[in-house]
Amino acid sequence: MSNADLTSILLVLLLLVGLAQLLGYVFVKLRQPKVVGEIVAGVVLGPALLGRLPMMAGVNAAMHHQDNLLTFVYWLGLLLLMFLSGAEARQLFGRDERREVGWLTIVGTGIPFVLGLVFGPRLITPALSGPNGNTLALTIILAVGVAVTSVPVVSKIFADLKILHTRFARLVLGVAVLEDIVLWLALAIATAVAGHTALKSKPLAIHLVSTVVFFVLGLTVVPRVIKRASKSRWNVLAKHSPVSYVIAVLLGYCVVAGALDVSMVFAAFLAGFAVVHKKRRLFADALEAIGKVSFAFFIPMYFALVGLKLNLVRGVSWSMIAVFVVGSCAIKVISVATAGRFAGFRGLDLVNLAITTNARGGPGIVLASVAFDAGIISSKFYTTLVVAAVLTSQIAGAWLDYVLRKGWPLLSSEGSVAGAAVGLGDELPPVV
């Protein structure tokens, strides 16, 4: 790489991460999730706005010339996001509200997902399909897009509003964690199916079995092996360089997944799940260090590059966005409200639970990215999924902020949350 090439790529990285952090800060001050500003940064630098100006011709040329390097940064940010999400998901297990979480998960998530599977084939049009999109893969993506809830977004919103300790937060996060595990498996199956557009039975069956086995072992057996290896006397790397060891676990998972032709996105999630343990949180400092670097550069870069992919000139269908956002939100809210009634909640409790669990956030964007990169969905459907994820996250954050400022209880059983009604932008760590 010549000095000119290196200078050009550093300029591109500087513009992307600098604008992502700046707009993220602006959106925080507007009481909006930071991720929205990071995505908008990519949109601003993309073909819809600044990318159309003559003065940006050199930057556009550098982006095109260094596309492979930007793609690597994009995937590294995505893998780190999934890795940290898996670690966070592991910490949320073992809560006491099993009955309520069970109802909210089975009914609140099950109804949207099943409806998506049943009616998806009738709703699929050529406008939704990418080059590798077949009916089965598209149906699964549509069902997941309707049912998914974001663990990272809602957990960060709860932390910002100082309600992470509440029973309401435990309920929502418990539901979101169980949802994500099931729906990531569904997405893994969709990508496996998309790899065989002709749907040949034998190779497809082998691919599906290897994906499911990898996922199941990654949730059950492998974390125990990693735990023993982490505490072993011979593991010098874990003792003397825990950050290196945790990164090695992440890379190891991804290498094995690549060898088995399983999506590395799910491998990264399972790697994060494996390095955190319920009774004794190993590598807490290492995860914190990795998280600081990731949220400072790689994850904002990922979301900025997501925004850069959004073609708001030719790759957008406002009618598709309107139909999907309204339809998916209505199904999700009604399903969660129904589940909440079965679980014994009433009135404002149902509204709070329904709106909060409707936040798609990071997982909704990851869903769009993985499906688009796998060739399952079109650019218009990709834009639709990203916009839906952003809008539902904004609505959830704004609603909870409003409820707390009014002094209303999140759940009638726990009363109002004293001291929680701080602004969403008062003290906001990175939101994904």
**pLDDT tens digits, one per residue of 234-278:** 888 888 899 999 999 999 999 999 888 777 877 888 898 888 865
Residue 152 lies in a domain: yes
In terms of DSSP H, where are the helices of 343-375? Answer: 348-357, 361-373
Instruction: Identify which has the larger pLDDT, 60 or 352.
Output: 352
Instruction: Identify which has the larger pLDDT, 35 or 153.
Output: 35
Residue 60 lies in a domain: no
Beta-carbon contacts of 369 under 8 Å, excluding residues fewer than 6 positions away, are 78, 306, 382
Residue 148, pLDDT score: 81
Candidates 357, 363, 351, 362; CA nearest to 411 is 351
In the predicted model, what is the mean pLDDT of the chain? 81
Please state which of the ranges 160-169, 257-266, 345-354, 412-421 shows the lowest mean pLDDT: 412-421
Percent of the chain clearing pLDDT 70 (strictly above): 81
pLDDT digits (tens, 9 = 90+) for 4-29: 778 888 888 899 999 999 998 998 88
Residue recorded with tokens 């400072």: 296
| pLDDT of 92 strictly over 60 | no
What number of CA atoms fall less than 13 Å from residue 147's CA on the CB side? 32
Q: Which two tokens stand for residue 36?
A: 């929205």
Instruction: Identify which has the larger pLDDT, 354 or 231.
Output: 354
Let me know: does 370 contact 79? Beta carbons within 8 Å. no
Residue 1 lies in a domain: no
Confidence bin at 353 (pLDDT 50/70/90): very high
Percent of the chain clearing pLDDT 90 (strictly above): 18
Q: Which residues does residue 415 pair with via DSSP β-bridges, in sequence order?
A: 411
Q: Which residues does residue 377 pair with via DSSP β-bridges, in sequence order?
A: 129
Range of the domain at 225: 78-406
Residue 424, pLDDT score: 41
Residue recorded with tokens 């079109």: 378
Instruction: Identify which has the larger pLDDT, 294 or 165.
Output: 294
> What CATH number is given to the structural domain containing 188?
1.20.1530.20
Let me know: does 301 contact 17? Beta carbons within 8 Å. yes
Residue 15 lies in a domain: no
Please state which of the ranges 144-148, 190-194, 396-400 shows the lowest mean pLDDT: 190-194
The total of structural domains in the chain comes to 1
Please state which of the ranges 31-40, 62-71, 123-132, 188-197 shows the lowest mean pLDDT: 188-197
CA angle 249, 251, 254 (to 5 degrees): 110
Question: What pTM value is reported for the model?
Answer: 0.73
Residue 412 lies in a domain: no
Residue 142 lies in a domain: yes
Confidence bin at 331 (pLDDT 50/70/90): very high
CA–CA dist 81, 211 (Å, integer): 21
Residue recorded with tokens 């010339």: 65
- Number of helical H runs and strand E runs in the chain: 20, 0
Residue 418, pLDDT score: 46
Residue 420 lies in a domain: no
Residue 174 lies in a domain: yes
Let me know: does 306 contact 365? Beta carbons within 8 Å. yes
Instruction: Identify which has the larger pLDDT, 145 or 265.
Output: 145
Q: How far is CA 398 from the centre of its chain?
A: 19
Residue 432, pLDDT score: 39
pLDDT digits (tens, 9 = 90+) for 73-84: 988 988 998 888
User: How far is the CA of 82 from the CAs of 268, 288, 391, in angstroms?
Assistant: 6, 15, 21
Residue 39, pLDDT score: 83
Candidates 157, 182, 145; CA nearest to 352 is 157
Residue 53, pLDDT score: 67
